[in-house]
Structure 1
Amino acid sequence: MGNVVDVDLRKLRYFVVVAEELHFGRAAERLHITQPVLSRQVRALEHELHAQLFARNKQSTELTEAGRQLLEDARPLLAGAQALQLRVQRAAHGRSTFTVGFMPGITVTGAVRAFAARHPELGVEVVRTSWENQVQAVHEGLVDVSFVRLPVDHSGLVLRPVFREPRVAVVPAHHRLAGKESIGIADLAAERLLQDPDAVPEWRDLPDRTGGEASGPPPAFRSVEEKLEHVATSGGVVVLPLSTAAYYTHTDVAHVPIDDIGPNEVRLAWSAHRQSPLLQEFADIAVAQH
């Protein structure tokens, strides 16, 4: 068995930034260090790992196969280290807390109250997450557990099913589909989808899809509210879980059930590296509440 390498997390952070930028100069600026120092640190990491991580020439910097593998593994490792530091600091300052993340439209009040009643010594807090950070919040220790909506990357997570719910199309109030009892996903083939297509793979995989092809990628939205405003003012559609669509009142949009795609699945997620019995206990309560 070979010697185990003690990986320096600082060098690993430097590597990730270079891998994201694929440019040592820009990476050095982001890290607020000089480019020669950054280059030396990356070379030292390559020496420690006995692997070339980047293929460099005068025109470009590219990840090698070893570099791609390290990038895949480095991000959760760095997130776990950050989460560890956060939990230790909280414990050192005498703040015993348990934090629950939740996505828009998901009601967590019952589960949180029941859990808090069992553990009066804990400060039980809630944090709203989004499609972009629902998993990241778990990995980085910003929340202990989080209600997440699939699909998500399962890597490094324990996922416990909680409930499933229908998905609906949100369209402008005067749209041709507004007011229909239900539609099929093919009815949206000519519409522009105002969200990440990976969130609606059934739309993405339509063979005759024409919506939005000439308009480029969907706009970047920070919230459901922004998506609904864009639907109301600029057209296009979004596909949302029923509870999310119902949570937001907007007189200029309508939601229509989609009857031929699967439901949205809500699961409770926590880090696979943590063994606290509180995690499983909260999961049992959350499942019972739904």
Structure 2
Amino acid sequence: MDADPTPGPSFTIAFVPGVTLAKWSKAWQERRKDLPLAFAPTAEADAVGVLHDRKADVSFVRLPVDDTDLSLIPLYSEVPVVVLPKDHDLSLAESVTVADLAGEHLLQDPDELPEWRDVAVEVQNGTRRPLPEMRSVEDAIELVAAGVGIVIVPQSVARLYGRKDVIARPVIDVAETRIGLAWLADETTPDIDDFVGVVRGRTARSSRAPQEEPEKAPPKERKPQQKPKAKPFTPRQGRAPKKLGKGRNRGRGRS
């Protein structure tokens, strides 16, 4: 029986929930047909660990993270939203504040959201209920649909785990989160440089290193311009003789 063929090289991208890679992966595949991509969906808690474990070449992380030994570039910000049951009183509002949510039960660690923690009734009164068992954000949103509590997450995450029985509304006074691209600083390879270039929008022709000027075509030889030939002089025909002015040459020849 023949042994399985050894898999070829690939470039592995880890990413946290809510990150969409379609635009960048398409640009990479057009530019680097020699190196296919592999994808590693990763929990936020493991987004840096996969780099140290050499399970990914780069990782899209949700900031802040421990950036020890990492190179890290921030990319874009995310709008925070609260996920509520569809029949919630706040479902009619276009946006909400943390004061509007002060009486709700947050299905998250309050320390992750200090804006809510500082006004929450159950925190101020010391009546905070223990959190039910949840393995993921998806589990938490399922509990929201059941009326157990609320969650505040980036809008991209709410869309990823969206359901027909919940709604999401922007929370205007909660700090935005950011997505960044991270990799091991001491293991920056030309492939990583290429991927960073794709993410930053550099074209295939651009590079960190200076490129040679393209060879210019030799200038076309210009032919000497010929002077126009002088036209031969021809007297005008039928030209009337000049008339003498009045009184000119009168009396000449008279005695």
TM-score in terms of structure 1 length: 0.61
State how far apart, in whole Å, the 2-side matches of 1:183 and 1:191 are. Answer: 13
Superposed counterparts of 1:162-181, under 5 Å: 162-181=75-94
Cα pair distance change 1:102/1:185, threshold 3 Å: same
State the alpha-carbon separation in 1 of the partners of residues 102 and 76 from structure 2.
28
Residues 267, 173 of structure 1: CA spacing in aligned structure 2 closer, same or farther, 3 A cutoff? same
Aligned to 2:70: 157
Task: Give the structure 2 partner of residue 26 of structure 1.
Answer: none
- The answer for unaligned runs of 5 or more in structure 2 is 1-5, 203-255
Aligned equivalent of 1:96, options 1, 6, 9 = 9
Structure 1 residue corresponding to 2:187, chosen from 265, 269, 274: 274
1:195-214 to structure 2, matched below 5 A, reads: 195-204=108-117, 206=118, 208-211=119-122, 213-214=126-127
SS at match of 1:132: helix
- Measured in 1, the distance between the counterparts of 2:133 and 2:30 equals 40
Normalized per residue, which structure has more helix? 1
Q: How does 1:1-290 map to 2 (within 5 A)?
A: 95-204=8-117, 206=118, 208-211=119-122, 213-288=126-201
**Percent of pairs identical after alignment?**
37
Q: From the superposition, tell whether residues 139 and 221 of structure 1 become closer, same or farther in structure 2 (CA, over 3 Å).
A: farther
Once the 2 structures are TM-superposed, how far is the Cα of residue 220 of structure 1 from its aligned partner? 4.6
| SS at 2:39 equivalent | strand
Counterpart contact for 1:172–1:235, Cα < 8 Å: no
**What letter matches 1:210 in structure 2?**
V
Q: Is the contact between residue 159 and residue 269 of structure 1 (CA under 8 Å) also seen in structure 2?
A: yes
Which string of whole-angstrom CA distances, capped at 9 and with x for unpartnered residues, describes residues 222-262 of structure 1?
33321110111142111111122123331111111111222
Q: Aligned with 2:167: secondary structure?
A: strand
Residues 23-70 of structure 1: per-residue CA shift (max 9 Å, x gap): xxxxxxxxxxxxxxxxxxxxxxxxxxxxxxxxxxxxxxxxxxxxxxxx
How far is the alpha carbon of 1:197 from its aligned partner?
3.4
Q: Provide the rounded CA distance (Å) in 2 between the counterparts of 1:187 and 1:153.
A: 33
Counterpart CA distance in 2 for 1:153 and 1:281 is 24
Question: What is the Cα deviation at residue 160 of structure 1?
Answer: 0.7
Relative contact order higher in (CA < 8 Å, ≥ 6 apart): 2
Q: CA deviation at 1:94?
A: 6.4
C-alpha distance 281-211 of structure 1, shift in aligned 2 (>3 A): farther
Amino acid at match of 2:135: R
Question: Greater CA radius of gyration, 1 or 2?
Answer: 2
Which amino acid letter does the alignment assign opposite residue 32 of structure 2?
H
3-state DSSP class of the match of 1:178? Answer: helix
Q: How far is the alpha carbon of 1:283 from its aligned partner?
A: 2.0
Q: 2: distance between equivalents of 1:288 and 1:198?
A: 36
- The 1:141/1:234 distance shift into structure 2, 3 A limit, reads farther
2:80–2:155 CA contact under 8 A, matched in 1: yes
What amino acid does structure 2 have at the position aligned with 1:112? S
